[in-house]
Amino acid sequence: MLQTPSGGADSGTAAADSGLMSIGAVLNALRDEFPEVTISKIRFLESEGLIEPQRTPSGYRKFSAGDVERLGHVLRMQRDHYLPLKVIREHLEALERGEAVRLPSLGRQRDPGDAEPSVDLYGEPGTPTVARVGRAELLVAAEIEEQQLEEWESYGLIAPLPDGAYDAEAVTVASLVVELGRFGIEPRHLRVMKAAADREAGLVDQVVAPLRRHRNPQTRAHAEARTKELAGLAVKLHAALVQTALGVRLP
């Protein structure tokens, strides 16, 4: 807790002298890398226990350089790895305990410098994977509102599992829908992509179905690997066909 200097008129002076920053200053410091960050987002991350800024006697938040660095790390993990806040918090806590931990993957990992979105479709082998997220975690990870999610569900772009949770790829889908929306492509326009994906999935399922029904447990287990392999090839073919149709080549 910051202490007001004896005879001082404002505790903000002490905060400035000690190198602490107001929430507005933190927002300005982060906006170059995270242009969509808001004061409400910073306050939400605090409420979720991701940061713990100091408070003046008047209740104003004051952030240290370490707080700002931690905020940047949290926002980066959300943006580049689509991780829910619970997973990010557990990862940071493990690091603070000095544990050597690897960053879990959630859906499609994104390298900000990678212009090829189809690289590493299933994550790095051996990387811990977060398989399921709750509805609230999905909303936060994709930075969308409840109304948007309901609309996308009505178009079949995202669907919950029977218990109400979502698989990890739902975060990837939601994030890509948001990105396409910045180009004026509305969710209703994406139904054709969903229909094409369902047909491709049906084709893959026809190939692996005999393996899944096999009496040999090892053969049934092999169906999972074959499904991933075929799905990866189908996605690459789809991307190549789209590029050919448009007469463009991704860098």
Tally of structural domains, the chain: 3
Domain shared by 180 and 236, yes or no? no
99 in a domain, yes or no? no
My answer on whether 62 and 1 are in the same domain is yes
Do 176 and 213 sit in the same domain of this protein? no
- Do residues 173 and 198 share a domain? no
Tokens representing 65 are 């350089």
Establish if 86 belongs to a structural domain: no
76 found inside a domain: yes
pLDDT band at residue 140 using 50, 70 and 90 as cut-offs: confident
Residue where a domain terminates, one of 158, 185, 212: 185
Segment 25-30 mean pLDDT:
92
pLDDT of residue 84: 72
Whether residue 180 sits in one domain with residue 193: no
206 and 239 part of one domain: yes
Nearest Cα neighbor of 135 from 123, 150, 155, 156 is 150
Mean pLDDT of the region 60-66: 92
In-domain check, residue 89: no
Domain membership of residue 97 (yes or no) is no
Q: Are 186 and 195 in contact (CB under 8 A)?
A: no
The answer as to whether 88 is a domain residue is no
Is the predicted pLDDT of residue 151 greater than 90, yes or no? yes
Alpha helices in the chain (DSSP H): 11-17, 23-30, 39-47, 65-81, 85-96, 135-142, 146-154, 169-181, 191-212, 217-246
* pLDDT of 12 above 60: no
Question: Domain check: are 73 and 128 in the same one?
Answer: no
Secondary element (H or E) of residue 132: strand 132-133
Q: In which domain, by residue range, is 23 found?
A: 1-81
In 3D space, the residue among 72, 80, 88, 78 whose CA is nearest the CA of residue 32 turns out to be 72
Looking at residue 184, its amino acid is G
DSSP string computed for 52-65: --EE-TT--EEB-H
Q: Are 220 and 214 in contact (CB under 8 A)?
A: yes
65 occurs within a structural domain: yes
Stretch 190-218: mean pLDDT: 86
Which tokens go with 77?
């993990």
If pLDDT is split at 50, 70 and 90, which confidence band does 8 have? very low
33 and 75 inside one domain = yes
Q: What is the CATH number of the domain that holds 64?
A: 1.10.1660.10
Domain contains 98: no
Q: What is the pLDDT of residues 183-192, one digit of tens each?
A: 899 989 999 9
